[in-house]
A and B are shown apart, each in its own frame.
Chain A
Amino acid sequence: MNNGCEFEFSGATLTALPSGALWWAAHDLLVVSDLHLGKSDRIARRTGTMVPPYETYDTLLRLETDIATTGARQVICLGDSFDDMASSANLDPKNRDWILTLQSGRDWTWIEGNHDPAPLSLGGHHRAEHTVDGLTFRHIADPHLQAEISGHYHPKLRLPVRGKLISRPCFLFDARRLILPAYGTYTGGLCLTHGALQSLMGPGAQVILAGTSQHRLPMPRAAQQRVS
């Protein structure tokens, strides 16, 4: 098991962790994006299907492990922390206490996401965006900004290798912006060849895979891909 892949972004030395979290050692800062806590609750409420209700537990367990291993003093959740507002309101009391335990003694920031825009009933700061030492943390990338770290897109690499299609969530960055993979257990991914990511990322964009093999490679560019 490796301990992460270190890289330079906008003058900061950052580490892409296998779990999909980002570690900024200089600030003892752990960043996670798109936790989508309470997703199963929302699915049941809205569609009637009842998927295994263990994703909140599993996501928090992985977050707890990352916090413990890194010894983070600051935590930023980059938005879409809850699948919707009702999911945060319906949070199981045990999980609510668990989050409070994780927060205690740490500087904790909830960034607003498109799924959970209103202020949350949990502790910590609630912000539309947040800046630390020149780096701006937002939920959705702003094409006009730079030195910006965001989530939202759930980037995922699909790479054909010798007739096999390998699919992994990944970190995506260029000179201006860094996009984190989704951290939540029940999250799908958006293929890097999708128009939205292709148009957002500048030349020289790179990818670092989440998971056990944290390879780093150039972002695949699909010349035929239309920008939607």
Chain B
Amino acid sequence: MELPAKITDWFTTKGWSVHPHQQAMLDRAENPTTLLIAPTGGGKTLAGFLPTLAELASAPHDGLHTLYVSPLKALAADIKRNLRTPVDEIGLDIRIEDRTGDTTQTQKKRQRVDPPHILLTTPESLALLTSYEDAPRMFRGVQRVIVDEIHALSESKRGDQLMLALAALQRMCPDMRRIGLSATVEDPDAIARFLAAHPNPCDIVHADPGPPPDIQMLQIDEPPPWSGGGAKYAIPAVLDEVRKHKTTLIFHNTRAQAELFFHNLWLANSDSLPIGIHHGSLSKEQRQKVEQAMVDGTLKAIVCTGSLDLGIDWGDVDLVIQIGAPKNVKRLVQRIGRANHRYNAPSKALLVPANRFEVIECVAALAAVKAHDLDGDDRGSGPRDVLCQHILIAACAGPFHADDLFDQMTTAGAYAGLSRKAFDDCLEFCATGGYALRAYDRWQRLLQRPDGMWQLRDPRAAQRIRMNIGTIQDTDTLKVRLKNRGGGKPLGEVEEGFAATLTPGDTFLIGGQIVRYEGLREMTVEVTRRASDKPKIATFLGTKFATSTQLTHRILNMMQQDDWPDLPDHTRDWLKLQKQVSFMPKADRLLVESFPHDGRAQTVVYGFAGRNAMQTLGLLVTQRMEEQGLSPMGFVATDYAILVWSLDPVLDPAPLFSRDGLREGLEKWLSGNAVMKRTFKASAHIAGLIERNLPSNRKTGRQATMSSDILYDTLLKYDPDHVLMQITREEALRGLVDFGRIEEMVDRIEGRIDHVVLDRLTPMAAPLFLEPGRVPIKGMAEERLLAEETERLMVASGLADVDKPKRWAVPF
């Protein structure tokens, strides 16, 4: 496609030329699907929109021409701003609007009647749009869809949702061409398959990757601590770097770590450098304030998490600092790309390990970046809970034929291999509940009409289905507000479980401030500002990255060296100390350490099987410990080890790791454990078995809501083969179980176990104590603790004396 004169003139006025990859996108303008792989700052967005602008400049278009979908609301708003400028300068009469959860109802209604030329939206908002009966009218004539940050979407259910929505859209607009914009990835073909309408081909355009990044470890005189994720030791050095650069992004792996680091940074910030904080648990108002300050260039640095991972262009960032091990080489490369949004300038990044183990991970990651050894795992076939949601969405849009819907859904790459039986099971679930006990003949959700079409039994159900569209699973959170008359300023959110452990007077960090817990008012945590005290830390459940398989292997290889000349002395000495007091983990032996700590017996198992397999191992080992009467209370898993705490110590670990025992445990475990329940809850929400959002006039009291755990237990007891139980198993096996790698571990150790019993924790075990994501075990330990605590409360209240002796009646 030739660029119209208007646009080439504009390029000339600007003194710019069309980049080769931008031209390549124009050349492929008629292709059904094109994927552009480009580093951040490569004019990627403009490359995606150029064919649209060219078409709109050449001929007027009535109605919606191009849809743009991004994973972030903020990105949609940002692109609207950034696209407006060239469109106005070129002199095109184009309406550009965004549509996200933040768009007003009036605006949304108007968009459906009179859509703009370019609509910028999110996967959820698009799925919602396809659920309306008038969708074919709104989308009539759509020529293009641009999926931005597709590398991020392709890793999540939000991407699966988007591709099912596009499959529906493609039916309404057969001429619609697809463009994907992706950061550098290890397997472009996988993303191409994900993007294209199966079996269409997808062309891949590679932009010049630019010069290699300037990346190294931040040189700090003080060695990192033995444990912890705070990286407090690095604060003076980080402040120095912030001073030396224009704008610095300081990335953290978890929200809690970001909060703590920001707090400590501020305490040390004697020059009062303007530094802000940004993460997903902060209130919208708080985040927008920081975003605006970045755009205005008034901030020197932003402490942030994955909420700034994606390509929003906020200010002139010239340095990225990664605090804590990067966990994943691909993500590290993408984060580094946030520095220097100028094409052909190297990005500058510094890694700051938070503890000694992370030094090893950082060195391994640096080697991987230099070797262009990106990592990634195959996600497997599309999840069926999302499929169920889209069957319901299809029903909202109007009656459908099962054959048609199956054909349509299997054009989405992730669902291309879906069997008709698997689809029919999902349809049956949506229609009748799919239970072995046929209970809902009168109240089916979907009915099959005499002509064979399926439709909603009660059209009013559409409203409730629409309210629950989406695949993002929030943990149950409570809003935090400053306490004052008439409802105070919102600060953000904390997990309900965390709020429940607070008693008035406790302090915690949120948005970089220390606040004092005052009480719970309805569903809001009320706090006051408290400047001084040392805070309790809010336990946010932020995104947790798993160290990739490739990186884990690099680390394990490093462990087996005789010496570590590549490592800084402090870490080298640390590994030597570990070697002195205990052993080094080896690939062909299993190292198990036992020692007391925190008033509990602690056991560390260095399996190096990757986080998911280690998580499973933790569940299986604690289950066997429960059987042995050791009263395990919980465990935490990392990519390289599990830490189990129990009331009684492990004396002989060998029986815990027999293959048959583990396999038998897996069968038992798959049926009743916390991870399965968590997986079930997520899938039940997505598949439409449980509604998260209810019409506001129907909100019932808390005592009326039953937990998803009860539904899981009931299904397990009476209908264990139900489709949602199958989905839960599929989801758990794909995400959380990874039993294959446990078997691989058992094979390579062949029963060779080094059990080291010590009187205190070992150097290598220390970081585990600060690892987030602790999994509690509900077993005898809970009963024992409950007995202790109730006894204490009885004694404290004086009731124990009044009612003594406590009689345990045996009346029958």
Contact = CB atoms under 8 A, between A and B. Distances in A.
Nearest to A156: B703
A44 B715 CA distance: 17
Interface string B131-171: 00000000000000000000000000000000000000000
A218 B793 contact: yes
A50 interface: yes
B722 interface: yes
Contacts of B444: 50
Interface string B702-739: 11111100110011011100100000000000000000
B811 A52 contact: no
Interface in A186-228: 186-191, 193-194, 204, 206, 209, 212-213, 215-218, 222-226, 228
Interface in B426-474: 432-433, 435, 437, 439-440, 442-445, 456-458, 461, 464-465
A101 interface: no
A213 B807 contact: no
B306 to A, nearest CB: 26
Interface stretch (A123-131, A135-143, A159-167): A159-167
B461 A71 contact: no
A228 B702 CA distance: 14
Contacts of A190: 701-703
A70 interface: yes
Given A48-B461, A159-B786, A3 B809 contact: yes
B714 A55 contact: yes
A144 B714 CA distance: 39
A153 interface: yes
B457 A48 contact: yes
B809 A47 contact: no
B714 A185 contact: yes
A103 interface: no
A194 B456 CA distance: 39
Contact of A5 (B435, B522, B809): B809
B74 interface: no
A58 B501 contact: no
B776 interface: yes
A171 to B, nearest CB: 14
A41 B799 contact: no
A49 interface: yes
Interface centre among A194, A216, A225 (most CB of B within 10 A): A216
Interface centre among A58, A92, A228 (most CB of B within 10 A): A58
Interface string A1-26: 01111100000000100000001010
A125 to B, nearest CB: 25
Contacts of B437: 53-54
A104 B707 CA distance: 34
A209 to B, nearest CB: 8
B641 to A, nearest CB: 21
Given A54-B718, A190-B703, A191-B702, A49 B689 contact: yes
Contacts of B285: none
Nearest to B690: A49
B702 A188 contact: yes
Contacts of A186: 706, 710-711, 714
Contacts of A154: 703
B689 A51 contact: yes
A206 to B, nearest CB: 7
A69 interface: yes
Given A44-B443, A48-B464, A53-B437, A161 B786 contact: yes
B27 interface: no
Nearest to B802: A204
Nearest to B430: A50
B707 A4 contact: no
Contact of B812 (A71, A92, A224): A71
A212 to B, nearest CB: 7
A206 B790 CA distance: 11
B747 to A, nearest CB: 36
A225 B807 CA distance: 33
Given A44-B440, A190-B702, A213 B787 contact: yes
Contact of B703 (A3, A153, A161, A223): A153
Contacts, number: 167
B427 to A, nearest CB: 13
Contacts of B689: 49-51
A182 interface: yes
Given A4-B811, A70-B812, A54 B786 contact: no
A213 B689 CA distance: 32
Interface residues of A, number: 65
Given A4-B809, A48-B464, A217-B793, A188 B704 contact: yes
A66 B443 CA distance: 32
Contacts of B439: 40-41, 50, 53, 92
A9 to B, nearest CB: 12
Interface residues of B, number: 65
Nearest to A8: B803
A161 B807 CA distance: 24
A228 B782 CA distance: 32
B779 to A, nearest CB: 11
Nearest to B504: A224
Interface string A78-107: 000000000000101000000000000000
Nearest to B432: A50
Contact of B710 (A159, A165, A185, A213): A185
A220 B437 CA distance: 42
B717 A165 contact: no
B443 A50 contact: yes
B520 A224 contact: yes
A73 interface: no
B812 A213 contact: no
Contacts of B706: 186-188
A24 to B, nearest CB: 10
A213 B809 CA distance: 14
A27 interface: no
B114 interface: no
B370 interface: no
B18 interface: no
B485 interface: no
Contacts of B789: 159, 161
A52 B809 contact: no
A3 B710 contact: no
A165 to B, nearest CB: 5
B707 A188 contact: yes
A57 B134 CA distance: 43
A41 to B, nearest CB: 7
Nearest to A55: B714
Nearest to A194: B702
B783 A213 contact: yes
Interface in A143-162: 153-154, 156, 158-162
Contacts of A226: 519, 521
Given A187-B703, A217-B794, A58 B714 contact: yes
Interface centre among A45, A48, A194, A216 (most CB of B within 10 A): A48
A45 B703 CA distance: 20
B808 interface: yes
A36 B690 CA distance: 18
B440 A50 contact: yes
B106 interface: no
Closest 10 CB pairs of A and B: A224-B519, A50-B433, A6-B809, A53-B439, A48-B461, A44-B443, A215-B790, A190-B703, A154-B703, A54-B718
9 contacts: A44-B440, A47-B461, A48-B445, A48-B456, A52-B714, A58-B714, A164-B776, A216-B803, A216-B806
Interface of B: 432-433, 435, 437, 439-440, 442-445, 456-458, 461, 464-465, 497, 500-501, 504, 518-522, 633, 688-691, 701-707, 710-711, 714-715, 717-719, 722, 776, 782-783, 785-787, 789-790, 793-794, 797, 799, 803, 806-812
Given A48-B445, A54-B435, 11 more contacts: A3-B811, A4-B811, A6-B807, A48-B456, A48-B457, A52-B718, A52-B722, A58-B717, A165-B497, A185-B714, A190-B701
